Every structure is written in structure tokens, then in C-alpha cells.
Amino acid sequence: MTKFELRGVRADVLIGAEEREEILKGVDLTINSGETHAIMGPNGSGKSTLAYAIAGHPRYEITDGEVLLDGENVLEMSVDERARAGLFLAMQYPVEVPGVSMSNFLRSSVTAVRGEAPKLRTFSKELQGSMSDLSIDPSFANRGVNEGFSGGEKKRHEILQLELLKPRMAILDETDSGLDVDALKVVSEGINRVRSNSDLGVMLITHYSRVLNHVQPDFVHVFANGQIAASGGPEMAEQLESEGYERFVKAGA
Ligand code: ADP
Ligand code: MG
Ligand code: MG
């Protein structure tokens, strides 16, 4: 049983040497293992900032509040330690790492998180199985990480990492955006496979409710102006779809 807690989290984005702007204005959220929480909100409301700040991205600084994984202070951990503790972040815009093959990258990540290198043959099998599940062509294993990948291919690769790293808590930032119907299905099935094989807690950040037709959330939170403006059950996704975010944005402005 894992408990991931955000308590009064405030964070600034560091814009230049002197300039910063407060984006997160007090975020409170608790995610237990096995729960999926959808975070929905308009563009620019601070959803990605929340993901980056939790992951320890150097451009974002948490100025107040707490981030706890089973009571342990995540903010005192290095980025590597956060991954080893079982935190996983799938970025909205995955980075390209030319010259490092996908298979080497994944094996290094798995080694870092598990604390020992998996046997090459075992790992290859595991990798091939997961790639096949995600309809990723086997030739991708030898390509540079995300190098020249389409948007959809990058998102599948994020879910491939999720499957192999088996985290306790996953933050998925717009993993559904830019996907066509078929890719959305493959990616959603991947998330569901990981959810059913483990006691994963999920923070599913999304702009659109359509992914929630495939990945059923337990809770839906509206994010506006750097805060959770409202929370409810899965039915709230449909309500947002028909009514939009305006009501919440105005209320918080
Ligand atoms: P969302 O993911 O909800 O669309 P973001 O967290 O990406 O929102 O952005 C929230 C706000 O922070 C926006 O106004 C955005 O312009 C600003 N912001 C985020 N990152 C940076 C950055 N690196 N430099 C300057 N402004 C940023
Ligand atoms: Mg956005
Ligand atoms: Mg974003």
C-alpha cells in the first residue's frame, strides 16, 4: 500500500537568472496505490508545472508545502532517488537522446531503478514482449531514444518505460495528446495492463476527457490557476466535456 501526498504545494517557474513566477498556488492531493486520479484543466493552468516540480526538474522550484511518498520527503531526494523510490513521470514532450539506443537506455533505467542489471537475455525477452504489446516495431530497439519518433511513437515509448520500470506512482502528463484513435487505444491498454498487474497509483493529467473513456479514473480533479478548483468522481469528466472549464477558471481568477 503506497500513499502519495501533496500538501500545500507552491512552486515557481524559473524564467531567467532573476525572474521567476509563481505557478502552483497550494496544491493538496492524496493518491493511494491502486487509485487513478485524473487532473483536467485548461492550457496554462499549471498541470505540467505540477508534474515537473514533483519530478525535480531544475526549472521549477517548490517554495512551500510537502511532497510525500509513504511519508518520506520526496523533495529531499535527488532525481535518481525519486525514480528508485518508485516515482515515474511521463512527460508531455518527451526528450530526444540521439546516439543512445532505446534498448540501452531502457536497460540502464531498469538497472538504476531495480538496483541491479537484468540479465541481457531476460531483459531482451521482456523488452520484446512489452514492445509487441504496444505495437512498437522491433527495429525501434536500435534507434536513438525518441530520435525522429512521431508524437504517437514517443507516447508509446513512455508507456513502454512505465511497463518495464514498474513504479509505485506514475504521473502521466498528456500521454493521450496528439494520438489518433488507434494509438490512443494501444496507449490506454498499456496503462490498463500496468494498472491491473500492479498496485500502481496514477496521476493522469489530461486536457480532454476522451482518454477517460479508455482509462477509467476513480477521481477527477479540475485544475485551474495553479490549484485544484474542484474534485469529484468519474462523472465529472463528462460534465467538464459539456460545460467546459470556464466556470472554474473564473472562480479562481
Ligand atoms: P499546462 O500544462 O496546464 O498547460 P504549464 O504548467 O505548462 O500549464 O504552464 C503554466 C504556466 O507557466 C504558463 O503560463 C506557462 O507559460 C508558464 N511556464 C511554464 N513553464 C515555463 C517556462 N519554462 N518558462 C516560462 N514560463 C513557463
Ligand atoms: Mg498544456
Ligand atoms: Mg502541460
Task: Using a pLDDT cut of 70, give the percent of the chain over it.
Answer: 99
pLDDT in tens, 186-236: 999 999 999 998 999 999 999 888 999 999 999 999 999 999 999 999 999
140/144 Cα distance (integer angstroms): 8
Distance 57 CA to ligand 1 centre (A): 13
Q: Which residues pair with 62 in a beta bridge?
A: 11
Distance 65 CA to ligand 1 centre (A): 20
195/180 Cα distance (integer angstroms): 22
The residue contributing the CA closest to ligand 1 atom 5 is 46
Q: Which residues pair with 223 in a beta bridge?
A: 228
The CB of 93 under 6 Å from ligand 1? The reply is: no
Given this model, what pLDDT does residue 96 score?
A: 85
User: Quick one: which of 175, 127, 167 has its CA closest to 33?
Assistant: 167
199/1 Cα distance (integer angstroms): 8
DSSP state at residue 18: S
Distance 44 CA to ligand 1 centre (A): 6
State ipTM. 0.94
- DSSP H helices in the chain: 47-55, 79-84, 102-114, 120-133, 151-165, 181-197, 235-243, 246-252
Sign of CA pseudo-dihedral 172, 193, 67, 229: positive
46/22 Cα distance (integer angstroms): 10
Query: What is the pTM (predicted TM-score) of this model?
Result: 0.94
The CB of 129 under 6 Å from ligand 1? The reply is: no
Query: Ligand 1, residues 48, 61, 172, 248: which to mutate, most atoms within 8 A of Cβ?
Result: 48
Distance 108 CA to ligand 1 centre (A): 30
Task: Using a pLDDT cut of 90, give the percent of the chain over it.
Answer: 79
Q: Is the pLDDT of residue 75 over 90?
A: yes
Fold (topology level) of 3-95+169-252: Rossmann fold (3.40.50)
Domain range list for the chain: 3-95+169-252
SS3 for 156?
Answer: helix
The CB of 86 under 6 Å from ligand 1? The reply is: no
pLDDT in tens, 166-190: 999 999 999 988 899 999 999 999 9
